[in-house]
Each structure stands twice: as C-alpha cells, then as structure tokens.
Amino acid sequence: MKLLKYILPAVALLVSIGGAVALKASQVKVQTVTPEKSLPRVTTVTVKPQAWRYEVRTTGTVAPRTETTLTSEVPGRIAAVHPAFVNGGFFKAGDELVVIDDLAAKAALAQAEAALATAKAALQREEAEARLAKREWEKYGQGPADPLLLREPQLAERNAAVQGALAAHAKANVDFLSTRILAPYDGRVRLKLVEQGQFIGLGTPVARVYATDYAEVRLPLSADDIGFLELPLGGQLEYDDERAPQVQLSARFGPDVISWPARIVRTEAEVDPQTRMYYAVARVRDPYGSAQATPLLPNTFVNAVITGREAERVFVLPRAALRPDGRVLVVDPANRLKQREVTVVRATPESVLISAGLEEGEQVVTSRLDMVVEDMPVELTKEQP
C-alpha cells in the first residue's frame, strides 16, 4: 500500500506530460495575412467633341386648323341628309350635307322672277316714251326742256323699280340655294345637331364640323427653349419651307408609341401673361390620310421633340456624368480622380452638353461615387460606348 501511494502520483504526472506533448504536436500554425485594400471601381466614357443639333421637348394638345358651326340660312323642314352626316363622318368640299325642303323657296324665287320681268317691261316702255318725248321736244319745243316733259323722273322711277326687283330676285335666289347646306371644305362631322324630318328655323345650328387637311398643336416653350430653336417669331412659314423647324409628335396607345411628323409654321402673337411661356404652332399635314398609321384626332395629348440649332463643337455625356455640384470627375492616366469645372450648355434627363472644361480623349466618370477625394486612386471597369 505504501508503494502504491508513491506510484499513482508518478503515473498521473507522466500522463499529464504526455497529453501536453500530444496537444502541442497537434496545433496548426496560423499565418497572419494583411488584407489588400480594394480600390473604388468606376465606369468611364472617353469624350470627343462633336457637332450636335439641339432638341427641345414639350407637350401639347391637337386641334383642327379650322372648326365651323354650320347654321341654316332659311327656315324649313329637313328633306334629306348626306350619308356621311353622322358623328365622325368624312365629307368632301361641296357635298350637300343637309337639304331643306325648297318648295317655299321655289315659289318665292318664281315671284321674284315675275316681278323682275314686270319691272324690266315697264322700264322698256318708259324708255320708249322718253325717246318719243325727246324727239317731239327737239321738233317743236323752244328753250330749255322741262325734265318732266322728257319723262326723266318717270324713267328714274322705272330704273329704281328694276334695281329693286333685281335685289329681290337675288335674295330669293340666295334663299333657294341656301336650302342646300354645303360642306365648306374637306372635313369631318364632329357633332350632328339635327335629324331628317325636323323643322328648323332661321339660324338654327345643324352641325359642328372641322377641316381634315391638316391639324395643329400649340406647343408651350420657355425663354430658355427659344434660344435653342430657330423659330419664326416675326412671321409665318409654309409647311414646305426648309426654314420651318421639324417636329416629331408622339402618343402612347397601349404598348405602342405612334409618331407623326410635323413642322413649326408660326408662333403666337404674345407671351402668356401668367406662365411667361411662348407658344409655337406645329402643323401636321393630312392627319387622317393613308400615310398616317393612326389618325391624329382632336384633343389628343402628344409629346413633341423639336429639332433646333446646330452646335459645332460640344461634348455629349450621359446625364449621370454631371454631379450635383455642377462638376464632372475625370480619371487621369495614373488612374486618379480629378474634379473638373465645366460649362454646361444644356442638360436633359438623358444627356448633358458641355462646351468647355474638357479635352478630347479624357475619361469622364459616369458611375456614382458616394465619396470623392481629389487624386483618389480608382479602378476602371468596362468603358461605356
């Protein structure tokens, strides 16, 4: 027992020493690695000056170039209407849109013709009597002739009667012709107001129609926009005039965007006193013809892109290249950032035009950076076209 008392502590010590040696042998050596510092990655575009034609974007509402309310010039019952006399119907200039019963007008015209014939016959008799009186006076009379003896007052009266009869005949003829309400131009019926068989009075509106040879759009422009356009501020241009600025109108119909070519033909005579906006008028030729994929109806809201002046040397960059402080970032040959003051000519939601502050071949940053430090090193990603 005494021997066991000394052997057990020795065995425990040996086991502890062996475990420590085994644990030391099983340890894995860990190497300390210093992490590499990553550089900000930026996308750039290589700039090159170019000629550029300015564009001005605005909106407007389509209106017909001419709209007319047709009214009756004589009373009567509507005897017939044109097949196109319906809302939306197309017609040609001279078409008889509405025919009013002409029985009363024919009777009035016949009476006027009879009265005119009677007046002319009376005038002829009076002229014959006046010639006879003049010959008798020349044969038997002495001294100045009395106008009454020469039947001058009677002749003037008969002439006046003929003129009155002519006027009455002309009025009756106009009334007879007015029983046919004719289309004043090629157009379309916007609103039909009467029906066949209806009795209408003098001055009764029968329809509202508008011309279809071309449509117009009033386009509001700011004073800044005016500076980028060549507008006829002091006059009017023909559609085919090369000086008339080109306009592209467009509207969305479901998933499709439909476009119509147009031209600015004039500007309005004043600046809006409330908004201080100018108004240019764009004309669309034949808005309902076969050349148009979709007709351009009145009151359609359209977007407009007006082609303006041409700049000879500007740098065109994506809108993202211009920072909120009005500067751009340039990457130098050593891949370090440089902040650059530039002269911005025009900025749109898609692009920015710069006239000064850049050199050809420089790389301008187009990606967003949260923090910018002058001469900060960066890493370039694929360059934008």
Residue 123 has pLDDT above 80, yes or no: yes
Q: Is 161 helix (H, G, I), strand (E, B) or coil?
A: helix
Report CA 218 to chain centroid distance, whole Å. Answer: 6
20 vs 330, more confident? 330
pLDDT score of 327: 85
Round to whole Å and give the CA distance between 263 and 230.
12
Round to whole Å and give the CA distance between 100 and 81.
9
Q: Percentage of residues in the chain with pLDDT exceeding 70?
A: 87
pTM of the model: 0.70
| Bridge pairing between strands 351-356 and 343-347 | antiparallel
Rounded mean pLDDT, 196-202: 93
Nearest of 233, 180, 190, 13 to residue 91 by alpha carbon: 190
pLDDT score of 26: 60
Q: Percentage of residues in the chain with pLDDT exceeding 90?
A: 41
- Residue 312: pLDDT band (50, 70, 90) is confident
pLDDT digits (tens, 9 = 90+) for 137-169: 777 766 677 777 667 788 888 889 889 999 999
Q: What is the mean pLDDT of the chain?
A: 85
Residues making up the chain, counted from first to last: 385
Round to whole Å and give the CA distance between 188 and 211.
7
Nearest of 63, 52, 60, 53 to residue 246 by alpha carbon: 53
Residue 351 · residue 318 · CB < 8 Å: yes
Rounded mean pLDDT, 35-52: 79
pLDDT digits (tens, 9 = 90+) for 112-121: 999 999 999 9
Task: Walk me through the domains of the chain, giving residue ranges and CATH numbers.
Answer: 42-52+312-380 (2.40.420.20), 56-65+212-310 (2.40.30.170), 69-101+179-211 (2.40.50.100), 102-176 (1.10.287)
Which contiguous run of DSSP H or E holds residue 110? helix 103-140
| Both tokens assigned to 197 | 């068989």
Lowest-pLDDT choice from 2-11, 182-191, 211-220: 2-11
Residue 2 has pLDDT above 60, yes or no: no
Nearest of 262, 247, 264, 257 to residue 294 by alpha carbon: 257
- Note the maximum CA span of the chain: 202
| Both tokens assigned to 263 | 């031209």
Q: What is the dihedral of CA 144, 146, 151, 154, to 10 degrees?
A: 130
Residue 183 has pLDDT above 70, yes or no: yes
Distances, alpha carbon 20 to alpha carbons 14, 25, 27, 28, in Å: 10, 9, 11, 15
Nearest of 90, 97, 315 to residue 188 by alpha carbon: 90
> What radius of gyration, in Å, describes the C-alpha atoms of the chain?
47
Round to whole Å and give the CA distance between 216 and 265.
10
Round to whole Å and give the CA distance between 298 and 190.
10
- Residue 351 burial (C-beta neighbours within 10 Å; 0-12, 13-18, 19+): middle
Strand order in the sheet with 363-365: 44-46, 363-365, 327-331, 337-341
